[in-house]
Amino acid sequence: MSKILIVDDSSFARNSLSLLVQNGGHEVVGYASGGLQALEMFESLQPDLVALDYLMEDMNGEEVLREMLLLNADVKVIIISGSGDHTLKQRLLETGAKMFIEKPDVRGRILNVIDQVMQA
């Protein structure tokens, strides 16, 4: 079981992802609706893994990822994105994200991806 921080500005996305990962036996230790809140919770909750939305109002996922890496270079972040940017996945993986999931694929992939990232 992993302790997971969920970061997404959509409550629908947060809640549905929460249900998926809890059904997979993981613990959701916190929910953040923006980048700044995510960074605060990341420091205080020390999750094993962060499920991080890319497109958010106050900071985008890339900015949040960079800040988290400064706080903990070993952080395990899965980026979840609805963006159509063709270059985004490669850029985020090079920045330090462990995995990248497109939003329509979350339901089918998230538990396998969590297992892969935690076992790596």
Partner 1 sequence: MLGNQSKLTSEQNRIFDRFLIDSTEKTIRALENVFGLQIDSSSSSIEISPFLDSEILKRLGGGLLYTVSSSMLGDLQGRTVLLMRADDFESLSEVMRPILTMLFLSHPDTDLSALSNGRPDWMTDDSGKNGSDQAFQDQIMDTLAEIGNILIGLYTKAIYRNFDLNSHHSVPKALRDPQQHTIRQCQTSLETRDDQHLVIENEFVVLGKTIKLWSLISPCRQSFGKILGNIEDRQKSPPGNTAHCPGQALISVSY
Q: Which is nearer to partner 1, 15 or 72 (CB)?
A: 15
Q: Which is nearer to partner 1, 40 or 58 (CB)?
A: 58
Q: Which is nearer to partner 1, 47 or 75 (CB)?
A: 47
Q: Is the dihedral of CA 97, 98, 100, 101 positive or negative?
A: negative
Smallest gap from Cβ 65 to partner 1, in A, equals 16
Smallest gap from Cβ 120 to partner 1, in A, equals 25
Q: Rounded to 5 degrees, what are φ and ψ at 55?
A: -95, 105
Nearest-angstrom CA–CA distance, 57 and 108: 27
Q: Which is nearer to partner 1, 74 or 86 (CB)?
A: 86
Smallest gap from Cβ 8 to partner 1, in A, equals 9
Binding site for partner 1 (CB under 8 A): 9-13, 15-16, 18-19, 22, 28, 31, 55-57, 81-88, 102-108
Nearest-angstrom CA–CA distance, 5 and 31: 6
Alpha-carbon separation of residue 104 from 45, 53, 55 (angstroms): 28, 13, 14
Q: How many CB atoms lie within 10 A of CB 34?
A: 16
